[in-house]
Structure 1
Amino acid sequence: MAQIAGWVASDASAAGEHAEAERIYRLGMSAAQAAEDGVLSGNVAGSLAYQWSNTGRKADAVGLARAALEDAGPGAPAKARALHLDRVAWAHTRAGQDRPAMTALGEAAEALSENSAGTASPSHLYWMDAGELQVMGARVYTELRRPLRAVPLLTDVLGRYDASRARELALYLSWLAVSYADANEPEAAAGTAGRMLALAQSGSERTAERTRIVLDRLRAYRDVPEVAEQLASRAPSELAVRRPESTPGRFRPPPATAKPHPDEAALAQHNDSATANDRCVQQDAPCYQIFTHCGRRSWFSSHSSHTPNAA
């Protein structure tokens, strides 16, 4: 529930409720840790790492994504390991680390190949399959400016994708449009962008941001008639790429006067470890300590030299 609520908060508004999403994710992680469910805790942590990757906290995101993978453990279900490794790949991608990103993608594919019809998987991973992993890999290759790898993956998936899932389809088309532009195929990029823009009216901040990114990439080909037509049909606000508003580096705790959320207070009352975790946060602990218990083994005990990104 925390993972879904956090995702909605991160995606729902024009400003992006990133602070609220982070609070929800932290609450979900505390609850999963209290239940000693490393797979679920890792899933929620991976969602927060994904948010950090997309809002400027790139080094922190790499650390947290790898921590989520470690917390889930080597015995985690195949689908869980594949998802965690994909988030590791995305974090490295956003940090500009090509080789680790592609290595993690390969490991994710290997993990998912171990899943079979009789393999038990958590119910919250019902959606994770080879097609979704293929799209995730294509996004990584698009971001790394490797269109020869991205375009075949995306065209294959989109050729059989459920057209009723308009928001997801719009997002995936946006990656294909950018890949075509990177491949110096502006006509194909413009055509794909047109399909994407027709679907990108869901009110999602992610689709709005992807719209701005696609149109920004098309501007390099503004002399191509198909591209010029797409650019001319858009509002000026859509042509400005919004930069991440979150500040990289340490997590900033709420002001001392802020009241704890009722759910957090209830959880802390009945879970001493959650209370200890809250003390770590209030002490402005580095990002790699926020979601661990004071005095206990940190997710990053094997990476004690990690320094949060302060750039």
Structure 2
Amino acid sequence: MRGELMNEQFKTFRLATGLTQAQLAELVCDHVERATGHRPATDEQAISRIECGEIAWPRRATRQALVALLSSDSEASLGLYPRRTKRDADKDEATKRRQFLALAGLAAPLLGGRMLVRVGAIDVERMRRKFRTLEALDSENGGGDTFHLYFTELARTEQILRATSRRLEVTDQLIELAAQQAQQAGWAAFDAGFDDIALGLFNYGRRAARESGNRELEANSLVHIAYATGQSESIEAADAACAALRQGAPGTAVAMLQSRRAWSLATAGDESGAARALDVARSGLDGGDDSPSWCSWMNHAELDIMAGRVWSVLRRPERAIPPLQRALEGYPDAWARDKALYLTWLADAYLDAGDRAQALDTAEQAFALAGNVASVRPLVRVRETAQRALAARVAGAEDLARRATAARAPIPVQL
């Protein structure tokens, strides 16, 4: 439906601010009165009618107030359009998606080979299968190695959107696929240490997911943004992601988003909030429903890893060590990046538990894996853990800290 009835975009923005309809209406009145000298009659019912789609294009002063109060970048982002220009607005969304690529310094390349003239559902499914195969490479390779694979697929999808004809539902499927590809390419850029490029792609993915009508995928973009931003922004983005979930969302999507929210809360020191988010995540997994491809990897073992990380950063070793030990039993060395990262949080937990020898041994294992993958994150974590061990005067920590500081991940200077 993409907003022709319910304006879900507007409601998502309001929920992300924590405002009720009545509170937002009061703030709109205050904002308009300050700007114009006249107080409008906007009330709770008016906000409800906007969310129900009955009011698609409020007065100009009201629109300006809503954009400012909800921290939106445009009226269109709030799902507000003159009814007669909805088709033009859809075209504008496609232009804005591509502008995100340009702002990130990533103008989509022209791709060779035979281009399709008309695209159908079978073609989209073929593209999805190919991309799922490429996604699997992320387990064994760092973002420095995989970024161009993912970005090339995104560029190809955008080229097809520009140059082919298809039915409306196929267009939505292509835009949804582009959102997934942008998120994966953004994750690879983040993994390789190119945060600005990553944020540009995450924002592209958010816009594309919104345009396709996939609220869970839009929420996933917000979670990626949470990972790549500072502490306060991280919590706001994670909260907005969970608020964006529709009723009856797949349990794995709930589990993944809530577990990432738990991490954001933990890094801010909110122990009770993180614990509640982990409980919601586990309840989501217990639902056992079908999973979208972008979160199908989420399972109890992955949740154990996140729980261990959360309790490790909260300095609760008695709760961090058991799930991390469970998750790392039999974890393959071929998945070097992730195993190195998880070992560093286990090493931190051992330090907090007073097991110095085990902490250093675990950090050494992480270091042995960290230098072989095109990702900046494992070495950063090893250095942090080594510095903690050094501050605690652990024997051998100085040597590990020196070697970790000198080590460099095999990542290109430019993506």
User: TM-score when scaled to structure 2?
Assistant: 0.52
Question: Paired residue for 1:142, among 306, 309, 312?
Answer: 312
In structure 1, which of residues 123, 132, 151 is the aligned counterpart of residue 293 of structure 2? Answer: 123
- AA matched with 1:146: R
Q: Which has the higher helix share?
A: 2
Secondary structure of residue in 2 paired with 1:61:
helix
Task: Structure 1: state its 5+ residue gaps.
Answer: 241-311
8 Å contact 2:367–2:379 — kept in the other structure? no
Gaps of 5+ in 2: 1-180, 408-415
Distance 1:163 1:185 in 2: 24
Matched, 1:4 2:184: yes
User: Which residue number corresponds to residue 96 of structure 1?
Assistant: 269
Contact 1:215 1:239 in 2 (8 A): no
- The within-5 A match list for 1:192-211 is 192-201=362-371, 202-211=373-382
Deviates more, 1:208-217 or 1:67-76: 67-76
Task: Check whether the contact 1:82–1:107 (CA below 8 A) recurs between aligned residues.
Answer: yes
- CA distance in structure 1 between the aligned counterparts of 2:316 and 2:228, rounded to whole angstroms: 23
Deviation of the 1:77 alpha carbon: 0.2
The within-5 A match list for 1:33-112 is 33-52=210-229, 57-112=230-285
- RMSD, aligned α-carbons: 1.7
**Range that drifts further, 129-138 or 95-104:** 95-104
Paired with 2:382 and 2:404, the residues of 1 have a C-alpha distance of 10
Does 1:20 find its partner at 2:202?
no
Q: CA deviation at 1:231?
A: 2.8
> Retained in 2: the 8 A contact 1:50–1:90?
no
Map residues 244-259 of structure 1 onto 2, 5 A cutoff: none
C-alpha contact (below 8 Å) 1:93/1:143 kept by paired residues = yes
Q: Take 1:231 and 1:183, find their aligned partners in 2: how far apart are those partners?
A: 20
Q: How many angstroms does 1:163 deviate by?
A: 2.8
Q: CA deviation at 1:170?
A: 0.7
Larger radius of gyration: 2
**1: CA distance, partners of 2:237 / 2:269:** 16
Deviations 1:91-111 (A, max 9, x none): 111112111111111111111
Residues 217 and 234 of structure 1: CA distance in aligned 2, closer, same or farther (over 3 Å): closer
- Residue 160 (1) aligns with residue 337 (2): no
Number of the residue aligned with 2:405 = 238
Question: 1:168-211 CA deviation, whole Å, 9 max, x = no partner?
Answer: 11111111111000111101101111111111111311112101
Note if contact 1:212-1:239 (Cα within 8 Å) is conserved in structure 2: no
**2:306 counterpart SS class:** helix
Describe the superposition over 1:20-70 as per-residue Cα deviations: whole angstroms up to 9, x where unpaired.
111111111111100010011111111111222xxxx22221111111112
Number of residues of Structure 1 aligned to a counterpart in Structure 2:
226
Instruction: Answer yes or no: is the 8 Å Cα contact 2:344–2:382 preserved in 1.
Output: yes
Q: Is the contact between residue 112 and residue 130 of structure 1 (CA under 8 Å) also seen in structure 2?
A: yes
